[in-house]
């Protein structure tokens, strides 16, 4: 193991046990040898970033805890900008290096939230709280599904994930194709010569309703698929037989007859759903989930 000098411990703790030499010797009777890595591998020796980071590190090590004074030279590594130039500089960074390689360091979570909100609204033009393509940090373990051939089926605390909104993408296609169908009917059948006539709006509304139903079927299909993958992930973590036993117990406790017909598609068991109704189920029937685990 290696320790990063000046690394912060957990909240409420004064040390990092797994990286503390005395702690490991006392509690685990281990022979511990300590080394400090001094060779720079991610920055050039003449880098302004390295010079300023080293200066701050030495001030902390010598217990001179003050606001750091950065040495800014005319170099591409380290530049001083004013507040009025910040938005333009950030836009240039996003264009040149991408979102993933552009980072803003803030002194508090409150200020980070303020920066995040303004950047989303004024630079990225994302009005909603969560949008497709957003990068999120997981704050606790989520036994969620990943890729089909991924070695694990859950997302751990601290992992970074990119949000993919299937429903939003599908709705975009619904609106797009509805407009095309409405335009075609309006021009070819109702013979509207300029602008949009009544045929366009009536056809568009009907097309959105019909394509919206088709879109729901697609989204529910992906929802059922992810349940199968989540079951496989649970079987790897807890064991196949334990996962099957849990589903069988859940099946025994379910009473689908108590669910209204309007909500039956969203029931976990789905035992009474068949035919067309099955296409709108968010969860596959428990019988199918159990059988899939047995053949996995």
pLDDT one-digit tens code per residue, 38-69? 676 766 767 777 877 778 778 877 877 677 67
Out of 107-121, 199-213, 251-265, pick the least confident.
Answer: 251-265
Nearest to 215 by CA among 270, 175, 266, 162: 175
User: Maximum Cα–Cα distance for the chain, whole Å?
Assistant: 88
Rounded to an integer, the average pLDDT of 183-207 is: 86
β-strand pairing of 160-162 with 135-137 = antiparallel
**Are residues 209 and 112 both part of a single domain?**
no
> How much of the chain exceeds pLDDT 90, in percent?
7
Q: How far apart are CA 164 and CA 144, in angstroms?
A: 14
Say if residue 199 is in the same domain as residue 85: no
Domain match, 223 and 279 both: yes
Q: How far apart are CA 237 and CA 144, in angstroms?
A: 12
Cα(50)–Cα(58) distance, integer angstroms: 12
Residue 84: pLDDT over 50? yes
Domain range enclosing 267: 166-294
Residue 274 banded pLDDT, cuts 50, 70, 90: low
For the CA atoms of 176, 181, 186, 190, the dihedral, rounded to the nearest 10 degrees, stands at -170
Domain identity same for 288 and 170: yes
Q: Is residue 177 part of a domain?
A: yes
How many angstroms separate the CA atoms of 179 and 174, rounded?
Answer: 9
Q: Which of 227, 154, 213 is nearest to 178 (CA)?
A: 213
Q: How many domains does the chain have?
A: 2
Instruction: Write out the H or E segment, with its range, that includes residue 261.
Output: none
Q: What per-residue confidence (pLDDT) applies to 150?
A: 58
In this structure, are residues 238 and 273 in contact, taking their beta carbons and an 8 Å threshold? no
209 & 262 share domain: yes
> Is 105 inside any structural domain?
yes
Tell whether pTM > 0.75.
no
Residues of the chain with pLDDT > 70, as a percent, come to 72
Separation of alpha carbons 13 and 197, rounded Å: 70
Confidence of residue 1 (pLDDT cuts 50, 70, 90): very low
């Amino acid at each position: 193991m290696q320790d990063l000098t000046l690394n912060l411990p957990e909240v409420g703790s004064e040390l990092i046990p797994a990286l503390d030499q005395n702690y490991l010797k006392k509690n685990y009777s281990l022979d511990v040898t300590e080394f400090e890595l001094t060779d720079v591998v991610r920055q050039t020796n003449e880098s302004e970033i390295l010079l300023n980071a080293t200066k701050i590190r030495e001030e902390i090590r010598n217990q001179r805890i003050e606001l750091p004074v950065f040495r800014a030279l005319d170099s591409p590594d380290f530049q001083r900008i004013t507040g009025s130039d910040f938005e333009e500089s950030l836009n240039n960074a996003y264009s040149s290096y991408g979102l993933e390689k552009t980072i803003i360091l803030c002194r508090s979570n409150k200020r980070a939230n303020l920066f995040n909100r303004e950047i989303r609204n004024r630079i990225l033009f994302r009005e909603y709280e969560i949008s497709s393509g957003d990068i999120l940090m997981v704050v606790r373990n989520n036994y969620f599904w990943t890729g089909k051939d991924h070695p694990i089926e859950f997302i751990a605390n601290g992992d970074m994930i990119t949000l993919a909104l299937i429903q939003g993408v599908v709705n975009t296609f619904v609106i797009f194709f509805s407009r095309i169908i409405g335009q075609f009917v309006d021009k070819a059948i109702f013979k509207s010569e300029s602008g949009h006539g009544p045929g366009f709006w009536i056809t568009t509304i009907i097309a959105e309703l019909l394509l919206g139903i088709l879109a729901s079927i697609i989204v529910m299909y992906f929802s059922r698929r992810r349940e199968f993958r989540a079951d496989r992930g649970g079987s790897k973590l807890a064991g196949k037989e334990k996962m099957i036993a849990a589903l069988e117990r859940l099946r025994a406790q379910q009473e689908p007859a108590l669910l209204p017909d309007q909500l039956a598609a969203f029931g976990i068991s789905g035992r009474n759903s068949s035919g067309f109704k099955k296409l709108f189920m968010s969860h596959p029937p428990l019988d199918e989930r159990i059988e899939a685990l047995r053949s996995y």
